[in-house]
Structure 1
């Protein structure tokens, strides 16, 4: 009687233990499944953008003076260069029949391509005799010659500064390409003494694009 009761107790304990183990396994299985439902992930590994092509113009003059269209800083692409005088300056005033030349290099340091043009502004006269009736702007002559890829050559038709108009320099200046432009200004041998002591000032604007 006692032996049968002991066997029944052991059998009950075994069933209880097996049930407990099954319950633990069930809980672990359910917990693992639920954990995968609480997080969802998508990774986009190809997200790109590209800046548009830009034109940047660099001018190099005598004594390695360099001006770049971006020298103004910020996002601007326009700069006023006061260190390159393409007419040669006033250090040596011209006598009748004299001339002086300056060569500059225009380089496209950007990534795009575009036409290069030269736009002369109005010529202004200062100094000289207050009673003068002639202007050096109407007397002094200018010619421009540029190297390939430009075909600009005004030596056959020099013009007075006051009539110096817009010039198409290069049809398309590609990125990394450059052209050398030589400016020659002269005072004709026939120049009137009325222009003596006068200074001519004329802005020249390069436009790429």
Structure 2
């Protein structure tokens, strides 16, 4: 049992070193191996619980042997062998559980770190895309500004033309009114001339009648 735990603890130590230091592809292989182990989580927890129970049993035996030796003043050689064996076994099992927990936490945090790196990569791509869209939007705004300025100039030109047309229309209205006034004056003069003509005809007719008499 002690030899088995010794090799298991040694293996856990090597796995912990592989996780701590990146040595070629060994870290990735170790991570994949731990992924496979975590897929059998129930089995792992069962083994850990069994080792913990044995550890408690060894600790109980250690205290029992110590109390027995204290009562008799000293431990017998057999008790000393059992005590040392239990201490060594408990120590190895304690290291086994501690390294197992350490490896589990290291694996968990390294996977989280990989996820963060991946999300940062996606975030960088998203940031680049937003920057490109921002640049394109800025170019569109500049183009729109130029177009608005051009339309403003066109509108200003059209406004000037409208003002000119209004002015010309006002002048034409004045000319029309002046022409209408002249026409009305001519019509009045024509009517007066016609009246004068009729009077002269009448006077002429009267003179001719007087001459014939």
> Is TM (by shorter chain) over 0.5?
no
Q: Which structure: greater helix fraction? A: 2
TM-score (norm 2): 0.31
TM-score (norm 1): 0.31
Q: Which of the two has higher C-alpha Rg?
A: 2
